[in-house]
Structure 1
């Protein structure tokens, strides 16, 4: 059985996943979906259902343990639930940039290979590395985190390179291009809805237009928008609430429009 979104969320509820885990998994699924769409556009065949289920359930093992073993524990949970082995293997192999047999022995994991091997496994593993909580982050930030923790950066870079070869372009660029497009539509819509009087919207719309004209990739972070969003909270109009919702939900990997 390959769980759809409703079934994946049911499994999360059954095992007591806290909201932050569920939101993280949903954000990873949306980023994985962006990569999957680009693969499909290029004629690369992958199992989209396995990717969706694997992404939505990749951290289910954190309901049992918060160490590198959570991938293994998550896979075991899914096997008990009768979930397709391909999904269980995605979950097992998503930790870090993968764990070799030798590393698994040193870490005290059950004997086995924990490296992402299939394209489905690599998509979910990389998507997870691009999400901090429920927000997308630059790949360079994950590299820094790997360095701080003493992890193997070469494996992380190899994971990205594997996807770049298949995609024909940088997977990070694919992800942030989507975010840029979402942000541009949201802010343009806000401006048309009559919010030109709000300086932060005018400035951001202008910034998006200028950077896109120059061919740059735009990333809007929560730290930049938090204060302006709070400023919108007093607006009672339906349009005002819609803009506030769109900025929070659309840009931060929380929108089904991904």
Structure 2
């Protein structure tokens, strides 16, 4: 199905379309996404090295490819303060959608856990200062991230727990904090677990994402992911909620738009 024929606007809330995996066919990949009803692609930043590529796309497609700025926890090292200074410089000269992606990642390496905490808290302060929401990455660190948010009384912060992979208890905590659940290709995985969660959560708390080029949904699992596959995520959620694809897309798009204000 060509979802553009449904006259619906689909917002892709998390895609690294500046990634080198798209170097050879980036324009074709984007045209495919736009022709399938993707109206906006929200681009999370990783570190200072990814900014130029991201901003080039923002300049090429100013109404469709919207940049965030932030330091991904996997890129937090000894020099993280220098990286954050660069982020703050950019915030002073350009308009960004959000601070992201930021958070905690204790899956790959716990060497810089203290620095990750400091980087996260500093970037939360930047979000408040610039009146922006935050895009959270937390892998094997959900409750650690929640603790940091609660410890600092960040009730004003809003945003997305990107690539949400927790259970019902974690989902309810995200909702209690006033955040949205970013749901992507994992919902289509046979043993991903997210398919069991979706029927228990009101759709008003969910936004759609791919995390391209990672985590491609079935039947593309294991291959390069891309924003046009977001329709597969939407269809799976619609099936699980026993509703039309039109309603699933409309509600999740409205949720995303509310973040923009």
Q: TM-score, normalised by structure 1?
A: 0.32
Which structure shows the higher helix fraction?
1
Q: TM-score, normalised by structure 2?
A: 0.32
Larger Rg: 1
